[in-house]
Amino acid sequence: MMPSVTEIQRGFQVDVLKNRILIADPNPDVSRALQLYFEANNHQVQIVELAGDVLKIARHWQPNAILISTELADKNPYRICQEILEDTLTAHIPIIMLLHLDERWARLEALEVGADDIVTKPIDIEELRLRVEAAIRLSTLRVQV
């Protein structure tokens, strides 16, 4: 018997509530604004201010997506992206790079190191949410296959 639309929607809402997003941005105003927005849209959020902590927290917390700002100064954010993808515990997690500059070299480098998507600051927060949710959906499908 086919599930009703209500049952399907209820199942989808439960999945959305479980989504965890790790945000790595050195600007506390940006991090906090993103946290408030994503939490208002039924996501759990953890903020990291130091690039060196991203992989450690990602391994332990297992977020559904990671947002990494290219403004992180304590470690090369592109290198962090590579480390996440090289680690067997985190390689499945989609990464979205938040670019400070809308320059071709920055976009190409982010994609070359393995970022799943890029968003240029200033951020259209609704677009970012939709991109994050799409990346999580695609990642979930890849894991199921």
Confidence of residue 145 (pLDDT cuts 50, 70, 90): low
Q: Output the pTM of the full model.
A: 0.86
* b/e per residue 22-61 (b: at least 16 CB within 10 A): bbbbbbeebbeebbebbeeeebbbbbbeebeebbebbeee
Domain annotation for the chain: domains and CATH numbers: 5-144 (3.40.50.2300)
Q: Which residues contact 137 (CB under 8 A, 6 or more apart)?
A: none
Q: What is the pLDDT of residues 43-92, one digit of tens each?
A: 999 999 999 999 999 999 999 999 999 999 899 999 999 999 999 999 99
d(CA 110, CA 18): 27
Residue type, 143: V
Q: What is the pLDDT of residues 3-49, one digit of tens each?
A: 555 554 555 554 445 799 999 999 999 999 999 999 999 999 999 99
Q: Are 95 and 84 in contact (CB under 8 A)?
A: yes
5: helix, strand or coil: helix
CA 66 remoteness from chain centre: 3
Look up residue 37 and give its two tokens: 């927005």
